Chains A and B, each alone.
Chain A
Amino acid sequence: MSTAGHVRHVLSENPVTLVASAMFVMFVALALFGPWIAPYDPLASNAAVALKPPSAAHWFGTDSLGRDIFSRVIVATRLDLGIAFSAVLLSFVIGMPLGLAAGFFGGWWERIVARGADTIMAFPLFVLAMGIVAALGNTVGNIILATAVINLPFYIRVARAEANVRRSAGWVEAARLSGNSEARILALHLFPNALPPAMVQVSLNMGWAILNAAGLSFIGMGVRPPEPEWGILVAEGAQFIVSGEWWVSFFPGMALMLAVFTFNLLGDALRDIFDPRRRT
């Protein structure tokens, strides 16, 4: 079965997968084209229409400065997804090779890497992220770095486990007989086999990373206002919930929830796409 056929098969097999994929596509589209889709300028304030409930003119209502919440939520997608994606990519690119090498070569190398990962995991991860951002400064770059660091152990673990199991497999020995150097075996043989479980991790991590970035912003340690970002938007609306203007927090919160939901569901689908054993 061809790759395209296989992807189609995976998507159609399970309706949940299909829904998750559709939502994923929607979010990516919003991230890419947000600013052009948004009906209003997300930064334009208009005191006259402050704190208006959802209506035909403002689907998600307006906030305390009269800005259209719908536009702000849409535009925020780019930042949230962008931060999460960069952080996960960074974690993956550093964590996978470290973990693979640790599991494959064993010995001192494995001990150092494993202890390093354990050290990171020993901290409550959100607190660690807060600490890193507090130490390095409140910039988007640092949020990405902090999120990447706290996600590192997941990739190290997955890769290390895979490498450990597979390094005594017959096909690793056969690869040596075929003329592969150890480095080639790691990169071209072990790494592709470690991808399917890593893919699930990637997806779950994306959801987690979004939540993490939003969380940091919510407590004021992340992205600075007036930049629209879901966490900030929720924070901005928090004070109005009690007074009855529920929509200011609600819609950004929903967006956050749906995004994390989508990525969580996507995990299994991604793994199935990447694992040739699922092909019939």
Chain B
Amino acid sequence: MVEPILRVEKLGKRFALAGKRGVLLHAVDDVYLDIAPGESVGLVGESGCGKSTLVRVLARLLDATEGRIVFDGQDLAAIPAARFARLPQRADIQMVFQDPTDSLNPRYTARETIAEPLALLSGLRGAAATARVDEVAAQVGLAPELLSRFAHQLSGGQKARVGIARALAVKPRLLILDEPTAALDVSVQAVVLQLLDQLRRDLGLSYLFVSHDLNVVRLLTDRVAVMYLGRIVEQGPSEALFRAPQHPYTRALVSAIPGQGPRIRLTGEISSPIDPPPHVCRFASRCPNMQDRCQREGPLLTDAGSARRVACHFPVTAAAAA
């Protein structure tokens, strides 16, 4: 059993609400996640599920309220985000953002954007930095003449490549990709996805790939975790999970993909993430299978065989689905 490169234990992030004392918004609760070296793990969920918050805590842009983020034997959650920015470990975990336009400083050229982390984290300047920028630009398929351009002079696909190059420049071991192709056209997306797949294999990187597009996640990940209202509700090998989802929410999600046959409609109100009662399943209010037990006992993520884990009292297994 290979030692995971990232081990997340009981991670929680709660926000205090302005004006209300003692009331907390539970953005992320009780998250356990492992990523092995060279593995690509997907994170899916809809808006409000907490995946953006989770990802920002893991990238150490936000501080966790509780829990551990063990990377290379060291608990990163114990280091405040502001201090982490200046440690050498900052280079080990990098991120590619969703909106390539928004994630590039409009006043920096592509070269300056990619060179900045080199200067601050790898201590490379001058000729050494230029060489490295050229090297990583070639790796991501960014033509050299584009490096002197500003963000608004580049196309969507080119901007996406600059973002990837910037993240790769400092040789990270874990790359967090937050919907990296959501803002791109379908044909550009295909090219970028193939590039990401190639890079992972060539450079031995691990990926945490966040997306709302289940088909894309299926393509690019080995394992996937599904989040709902701050908790992971199902986790397992990607192909198997999408082919035979067990958690009712995952089933609804998969059925909503166009072309997947009859749609499972979710009715009912979404429960509030503010001070949620701990002994109630958060999906209960919309679950088509909801029963008594769901309102009395919060389900925990339990082993369901074949590396699958589900947080549900009544998961839909192959036998039950028949």
Contacts and interface: CB of A to CB of B under 8 A. Distances in A.
A and B in direct contact, judged by CB atoms within 8 A: yes
A178 B105 contact: no
Contact of A177 (B94, B98, B99, B153): B94
Interface residues on A, range: 20 to 34
Interface of A: 169-171, 173-182, 189, 192-193, 276-277, 279-280
Contacts of A169: 102-103
B107 A174 contact: no
Task: Report which residue of B81, B103, B152 has the largest number of chain A beta carbons within 10 angstroms of its beta carbon.
Answer: B103
Contact of A170 (B102, B117, B152, B153): B102
Interface string B73-100: 0000000011001100011001101110
Contact of A181 (B86, B91, B107): B86
B106 to A, nearest CB: 6
Contacts of A276: 106-107, 150, 152
A171 B105 contact: yes
* Main SS at interface, chain A: helix
Contact of B120 (A171, A179, A277, A280): A179
B59 interface: yes
A178 B61 contact: no
Interface string B249-284: 000000000000000000000000000000000000
B111 interface: no
B150 A176 contact: no
B220 interface: no
A161 B294 CA distance: 48
B104 interface: yes
Contacts of B150: 276-277, 279
30 contacts: A169-B102, A170-B97, A170-B98, A170-B104, A171-B103, A171-B105, A171-B106, A173-B103, A174-B95, A174-B105, A174-B163, A175-B105, A175-B116, A176-B85, A177-B85, A177-B90, A177-B95, A178-B120, A178-B166, A179-B116, A179-B121, A180-B116, A181-B82, A193-B105, A193-B106, A193-B107, A276-B107, A276-B152, A277-B106, A277-B152
A249 B273 CA distance: 72
A181 to B, nearest CB: 6
B104 A179 contact: no
A189 B117 CA distance: 13
Task: Report which residue of A175, A182, A189, A280 has the largest number of chain B beta carbons within 10 angstroms of its beta carbon.
Answer: A175
Contacts of B106: 171, 193, 276-277
A174 B85 contact: no
Task: Report which residue of A174, A175, A280 has the largest number of chain B beta carbons within 10 angstroms of its beta carbon.
Answer: A174
A192 B117 contact: no
Nearest to B83: A181
Given A173-B103, A177-B94, A276-B152, 20 more contacts: A171-B104, A171-B106, A173-B97, A174-B103, A174-B104, A174-B166, A175-B105, A175-B116, A177-B59, A178-B117, A178-B120, A178-B121, A179-B120, A181-B86, A182-B82, A193-B107, A276-B106, A277-B150, A277-B152, A279-B150
Contacts of A279: 150, 153
Given A181-B85, A276-B107, A279-B153, A174 B90 contact: no
A44 B61 CA distance: 69
A93 to B, nearest CB: 20
A280 B98 CA distance: 25
Nearest to A174: B103
